Amino acid sequence: MSGTVVPLHKNPAPPDTEPGPNLTLVPEPAPAPVVPLWVRSGRAIRHAITHEPTREAGRFAVRHSMYVVGGTRIVTRRTWDGRTGARYERMLRAAEATGNYEVAAEWEERLQRFREARHRRRMDLLTSPVDVAKGLAVGTGAGIGSLVGLGVVLALANEDVTDVLTPLMAVIEFIRLLITIVSVVWGPALRVGPLLALLALWSVGRKQHAAPNWVLPTTVRSAEGEPITPSIVVKALRDLGVPALRNAIREMGDAGAAMLGPIRIAGCGVEVDVTLPSGVSTNEVQNKRRKLAENLTRHEHEVFITIPEAARTVRLWIADSGALDEPIGPSPLVTDETMTADYTKGKAPWGQDLRGDMASLSLYQRHLLITGLSNQGKTVALRSLALWLALDRSVEFWMGDLKGVGDWAMFDGLATRLIQGPTDEHVIEVTEMVEDAVEEMNRRIQAPPGTTFPLLVVIVDEAQMAFMCPAIGDDKRPYGGAKATSRYYMAVRKIHNQGRAVNVLMWQGTQDPTDQNLPKLVREGAHTRASLALGTESQARMALGDKAVDGGAAPNLLRPGLDQGKLVLASSGIDIPAGQASITVRTHYINDDDAKAITERAKALRDGVTTLHTIDRGEQRDPLADIAAVFGDAPRLLTQDVLKRLAALNEDAYGKWSFGDLTRVLEGTGAEPYKSDGRRVVAADRIRRALATRPEDDGDDASISHID
């Protein structure tokens, strides 16, 4: 094999015969390349220039020079404004730009008056030199005369004729002294005067911060939390990036504030209506919420843009910086232990609106839907309403908590039904509870007209679990889903459609809405829709409806985690400022302990309620097997006899069965009732065949709705 090795080195060095000491050769570090002098100087200069103290000194120098320039501009503008009609013309242009022609006419009239007065003053100037000369001559003569008169009186008193000229001479002396003083002061004044003028201009510029933003001190530059003034709002609107708006505001110049209504204090912020110039639509401003907020030195969540009734107007609500992050006080439900509720006439105290006014919601005949991302305060918000309602002793609660970690446990002994848990079995129980509510609703609807009913409120928290449940009932209908056969969905829809008038109401809390876990018809069936923080605008549309979102409702702009308990609400039961489609409410936080205390008070108002935790639907039965069993030896039975025998077999399970129930169970088995001699009968052999040939899991499915 050695013969086939090809050496890769030309002359491989002979191997060392004697191994020497193991030395490692450390190469000399390459000498650093010599940097040319001009490069080094450049670096040094750059370092010196970019050094922070140098930059600060530069900013300082530019700032104070610019104050003088800015001050000169301001003083010139003021003088110009004072002496010409420029101000009137500006206001006139602004009024025209906002389409406010009445105000424009007023300004035009003022401008006209100003011009007339100026013309009169100029005409007067033509004749004034003669008048001034005349006045001067008369004044001097009269002055000399009175001084001489005074001298005569003095001469008579002193019996000295020279005193006649004494007062006149004294005045002449005084004038000479003045001339001397002026001649002494004039020289230095000529030198100091411009300096003083410069100082005055600098002072005006400094007060108005008339320098580019980048040279202003950090405290002024950041303007964090700056109070909102008309000029700040106008500047923010001008820089919004809407060309038509920018041009119109430029056109108005200083008079841009004419677009604004008065800036009113509104809760922990201010509110101002802005009449947009023609050519700018309200949604152009609404779509730029973040930019507007930043221009106003606020965070996006601190600025709300709504559309009031007046045409071409947007209403801005701007929070005081950081004010929205402050907690609001405790709920009156917690602080006022004597509080009771009235379902029909009262309103549940829920929190505060952004203006800081109490936000309370009428629950009368309103189905409710609260959505939001997980852990934003949905359950607490929904529970607060239930806690208030519990203080009306006539109200009956049926509750299903499909999370089941005890958020609703305090209603044990207060709610007539309370199902708590996350499994499919719990969904099934909740569905059957809602179906029972439908039955109760139907019973009430069939009652004689005029009958009044106390409120039965069915609350399902985490309702998305019900819509997503895969279980199928013994009637082959799915519990979850959004098909016409879906049991939970259909039961909710029935209550939504007809429950209101007979006081059977449906309240649902649901998480992170999608079309699958919150079908459209269920969303739209709720009269009151509220949403905590959500992920996207499309979710906001699902939660609150297009109208509310188009009108400015934006739960997707609430900050998950930071805005816990803050919700956007579209409903008729709460005071929403005219023209707005929604309102933002900061809800009170009622913790579990306080909730427990409130439910204890509510229990004390009642005589005692026994809460059912599961719905006893009788023992597990197999209807097809039972039907087969009741035949005995009979080859055929009339359907009514089958029903009778089934009822005799088990009154609880079959006592209320109708022909429809029987047909439904036998449908598709090949043993359906048929007509014989004009009467409907069921054949025993067909039943037995169906029983023998049915698939294994049918029996399991049939049993699923019977839970102990």
Ligand X SMILES: Nc1ncnc2c1ncn2[C@@H]1O[C@H](COP(=O)(O)OP(=O)(O)OP(=O)(O)O)[C@@H](O)[C@H]1O
We find the least distance from the C-beta atom of residue 331 to ligand X, in angstroms, to be 9
Contact string (CB under 6 A) for ligand X, positions 109-148, x = contact: ----------------------------------------
Does 485 belong to an annotated binding site? no
Of 237 and 532, CB closest to ligand X: 532
Taking residue 286's Cβ as centre, other Cβ atoms within 10 Å add up to: 17
Of 185 and 562, CB closest to ligand X: 562
**What strands, in cross-sheet order, belong to the sheet with 358-361?**
358-361, 348-353, 583-587, 566-570, 528-531, 368-372, 504-511, 456-461, 396-401, 417-420
- Asked if 349 interacts with ligand X (CB under 6 A), we say no
Q: Which of 321, 528, 564, 571 binds ligand X (CB under 6 A)?
A: 564
Of 57 and 405, CB closest to ligand X: 405
* Closest CA relative to residue 238, chosen from 224, 259, 218, 207: 259
- Read off φ and ψ for residue 266, nearest 5 degrees: -135, 95
Of 140 and 374, CB closest to ligand X: 374
Q: Which residues contact 100 (CB under 8 A, 6 or more apart)?
A: 258, 275
Instruction: Give the H/E segment covering residue 540.
Output: helix 537-544
Q: How far apart are CA 662 and CA 569, in angstroms?
A: 47
Of 18 and 326, CB closest to ligand X: 326
Three-class SS of residue 525? helix
Does 421 belong to an annotated binding site? no
- The one segment of 204-212, 304-312, 583-591, 604-612 that binds ligand X by CB under 6 A: 583-591
We find the least distance from the C-beta atom of residue 351 to ligand X, in angstroms, to be 7
Does 376 belong to an annotated binding site? yes
- Asked if 301 interacts with ligand X (CB under 6 A), we say no
Q: How far apart are CA 194 and CA 105, in angstroms?
A: 43
Q: Which residues contact 81 (CB under 8 A, 6 or more apart)?
A: 87
Residue 694 contacts residue 653 (beta carbons within 8 Å) = no
Of 486 and 564, CB closest to ligand X: 564
- Asked if 589 interacts with ligand X (CB under 6 A), we say yes
We find the least distance from the C-beta atom of residue 59 to ligand X, in angstroms, to be 43
We find the least distance from the C-beta atom of residue 543 to ligand X, in angstroms, to be 13
Instruction: Give the H/E segment covering residue 628.
Output: helix 623-630
Q: Which residues contact 491 (CB under 8 A, 6 or more apart)?
A: 431, 434, 435, 437, 438
Q: How far apart are CA 539 and CA 545, in angstroms?
A: 9
Does 377 belong to an annotated binding site? yes
Contact string (CB under 6 A) for ligand X, positions 366-385, x = contact: ------x-xxxxxxx-----
| 36 to 39, 42, 44, 233: CA distances (angstroms) | 5, 10, 13, 54
We find the least distance from the C-beta atom of residue 459 to ligand X, in angstroms, to be 13
Count of residues that bind ligand X according to CB under 6 A? 15
- Asked if 517 interacts with ligand X (CB under 6 A), we say no
Strands 528-531 and 504-511: unpaired
Of 590 and 687, CB closest to ligand X: 590
Three-class SS of residue 469? coil
- Residue written as token pair 């890769």: 8
Of 317 and 408, CB closest to ligand X: 408
Residue 614 contacts residue 701 (beta carbons within 8 Å) = no
Does 345 belong to an annotated binding site? no
- The one segment of 86-94, 452-460, 585-593, 656-664 that binds ligand X by CB under 6 A: 585-593
Three-class SS of residue 70? helix
Of 93 and 586, CB closest to ligand X: 586
Q: Which residues contact 80 (CB under 8 A, 6 or more apart)?
A: 86
What dihedral do alpha carbons 126, 128, 131, 132 form, nearest 10°? -140
Q: Which residues contact 461 (CB under 8 A, 6 or more apart)?
A: 378, 379, 382, 399, 400, 401, 402, 403, 407, 408, 508, 509
- Asked if 403 interacts with ligand X (CB under 6 A), we say yes
Q: How far apart are CA 639 and CA 662, in angstroms?
A: 8
We find the least distance from the C-beta atom of residue 588 to ligand X, in angstroms, to be 6
We find the least distance from the C-beta atom of residue 377 to ligand X, in angstroms, to be 3
- Asked if 565 interacts with ligand X (CB under 6 A), we say yes
DSSP state of 479: S
Q: How far apart are CA 173 and CA 176, in angstroms?
A: 5
We find the least distance from the C-beta atom of residue 533 to ligand X, in angstroms, to be 9
Sign of CA dihedral 236, 239, 242, 243: positive
We find the least distance from the C-beta atom of residue 231 to ligand X, in angstroms, to be 36
We find the least distance from the C-beta atom of residue 408 to ligand X, in angstroms, to be 11
- Asked if 511 interacts with ligand X (CB under 6 A), we say yes
- What is the residue type of 587? T
Of 383 and 645, CB closest to ligand X: 383
- Asked if 362 interacts with ligand X (CB under 6 A), we say no
We find the least distance from the C-beta atom of residue 480 to ligand X, in angstroms, to be 18
Of 380 and 553, CB closest to ligand X: 380
Q: Which residues contact 290 (CB under 8 A, 6 or more apart)?
A: 300
We find the least distance from the C-beta atom of residue 359 to ligand X, in angstroms, to be 12
- Asked if 631 interacts with ligand X (CB under 6 A), we say no
End-to-end Cα spacing for the chain: 86
- The one segment of 182-190, 213-221, 581-589, 694-702 that binds ligand X by CB under 6 A: 581-589
Diameter over CA atoms, the chain: 166
**Which residue in the shown chain puts its C-beta closest to ligand X?**
565
Of 325 and 524, CB closest to ligand X: 325
Of 48 and 405, CB closest to ligand X: 405
Does 608 belong to an annotated binding site? no
We find the least distance from the C-beta atom of residue 488 to ligand X, in angstroms, to be 18
Q: How far apart are CA 349 and CA 387, in angstroms?
A: 10
Does 379 belong to an annotated binding site? yes
We find the least distance from the C-beta atom of residue 326 to ligand X, in angstroms, to be 11
Of 272 and 361, CB closest to ligand X: 361
- Binding region: 372-379
- Residue numbers belonging to the annotated binding site for ATP: 372-379
- Catalog residues that contact ligand X under the rule CB under 6 A: 372, 374-380, 403, 511, 564-565, 587-589
